[in-house]
Amino acid sequence: MPVVETHLIEGYTPEEKKRLMKALTDAIRFVVPAVPEAITVLLNERPVCDYMRGGSLRTPAPALPDPSAIVMDYLRAMEARDLDRAGMHLGDRFAMVFPGTGEMTSLTQLIEWAAPRYRFVTKSYEGVEALQGEQSAIVYTRGTLAGEWPDGSAFSGIRFIDRFEVTGGKITRQDVWNDIAETKGKK
């Protein structure tokens, strides 16, 4: 089965190297029908002093942050209504679209739009998937929503899926799909 050998300048943490090896394994499985256990990934590290490009010694670029961790911290901050922490994860050109909305560009717009629709929402996650797109990392979260309608009655079990674009360690886009309108209409 496949063996992938990668050369890397030393300086990455064990966690960063583990993320890289998992990403390489996943990339192979995208094309080759192999179980993860059948794929071998080898990292060969070279000391910084052994690497030169363009006639100059170089150091490795810092690893990008895990886009799934960025998205999940943003979502936890939003659920806690910690808008300052959530906002730290957003890029300068952030845009989001929720069911029935046009493009919104601030968390304040989202809070104002949501206020007449429900008192609060919590999410239970069934999956978080990340992949690299051409320009951004793409992160999908999916699961169910629970919370309270404006009249105080509870709801739960409403399906959702969110798609995020993460560029340079910041969320630049969020698209949301859910069945909240279908469920509210049956209330």
Which residue range(s) make up the domain with 26?
Answer: 3-57
Shared domain for 96 and 167, answered yes or no, is: yes
- Write the pLDDT tens digit of every residue in 96-127: 999 989 999 999 999 999 999 999 999 999 99
Shared domain for 73 and 157, answered yes or no, is: yes
Shared domain for 106 and 175, answered yes or no, is: yes
Q: Can you give the pLDDT at residue 185?
A: 59
| Beta-strand relationship, 90-97 and 170-178 | parallel
Whether residue 62 lies inside any domain: the answer is: no
Tokens of 179: 């069945």
Tokens of 53: 């490009």
Q: Residue 187 pLDDT > 60, yes or no?
A: no
What is the DSSP secondary-structure string of 125-183?
EEEEEEEE-SSSEEEEEEEEEEEE-TTS-EEEEEEEEEEEEEETTEEEEEEEEESHHHH
Shared domain for 149 and 76, answered yes or no, is: yes
- Write the pLDDT tens digit of every residue in 24-49: 999 999 999 999 999 999 999 988 88
Shared domain for 96 and 159, answered yes or no, is: yes
Shared domain for 42 and 96, answered yes or no, is: no
CATH number of the structural domain spanning residue 114:
3.10.450.50
105 three-state secondary structure: coil
Shared domain for 42 and 124, answered yes or no, is: no
Shared domain for 98 and 181, answered yes or no, is: yes
Tokens of 16: 């960063």
Distance (Å, whole) CA 170 – CA 11? 23
Shared domain for 52 and 113, answered yes or no, is: no
| Number of other residues whose CB lies within 10 A of the CB of residue 186 | 5
Q: Can you give the pLDDT at residue 186?
A: 61
Cα maximum dimension of the chain: 70
Shared domain for 175 and 92, answered yes or no, is: yes
